[in-house]
Chain A
Amino acid sequence: MILFLIGLASGIVSGMGMGGGTILIPALIFLAGVPQHLAQSVNLSVFFPASICALWIHTKNKHVRYKLALKIIVVGVVGSLIGSVIAVSMSTQILRKLFGVFILAMGVYELFRKTNDKDKK
């Protein structure tokens, strides 16, 4: 039940266009006791169903710039493979500390970012 509720909360957040994963991973770790690596793999997997739907709608509305996407993907996939191999070869404690630095930086960025509430309405 707690897993479902955590999913629900992170889904609401990402549905509103804010990074759901940066909330989901710490929630899984602190509220459900999921280990760091597993929490990260859950976040990667959970992204698929909702984002495939979203992509389909955005494609119909011609908002996806596929040529640009493809160029980023070519390099990005190599980066993802390297990043994942580094992650799985790391101990839980070290990965957790690195992740801590990462969301701390993202949190500070999010806190001082200019938000355009007018655009959203």
Chain B
Amino acid sequence: MKIGIIGAVAGLCNGLFGSGGGIIVVPSMIYLLKVEEHDAHATAIAVILPLSLASILIYFTNNYFDWNIVWKVCAGSVLGAGLGARLLPKIPVGILSRIFAVFMIMAGLRMLF
């Protein structure tokens, strides 16, 4: 039952907002299903991949897809992911995630008003 609700909420967000599946799946696996944190992060990736594939299929068939943007962002993001993993032990994650949180709140407010 819990698993079904987690899947439904994560799926709906993944499709509707094109993001946020992981932000839902990871904490709900940790707190509701008592999965160990490292396993939760790893399992979340296995979950989000097919969900994103399903979502992108709908976006693609409705012409919301642009290779020209995708490959440029992709190139940067792959490079950045490697860099980020290497930087991780050297940075105060707690402070940085607070800074990002403020950015998200500002972006959210700007989209609303």
Enumerate chain A interface residues (CB-CB to B < 8 A): 3-26, 28-30, 32, 34, 37-52, 54-55, 58-59, 61, 63-66, 68-69, 71-88, 96-111, 113, 115, 117, 119-121
Contacts and interface: CB of A to CB of B under 8 A. Distances in A.
Contacts of A100: 107-112
Nearest to B50: A73
- Shortest 5 CB-CB distances between A and B: which pairs? A79-B11, A11-B80, A15-B84, A83-B15, A7-B76
Contact of A11 (B17, B64, B79, B109): B79
Nearest to B25: A72
Contacts of B101: 107-108, 110-111
Contacts of B14: 44, 76, 79-80, 83
Interface residues of B, number: 88
Contacts of A5: 76
Given A44-B56, A110-B97, A73 B47 contact: yes
Contact of A106 (B25, B33, B75, B104): B104
B16 A41 contact: no
Contacts of A75: 3-4, 7-8, 11
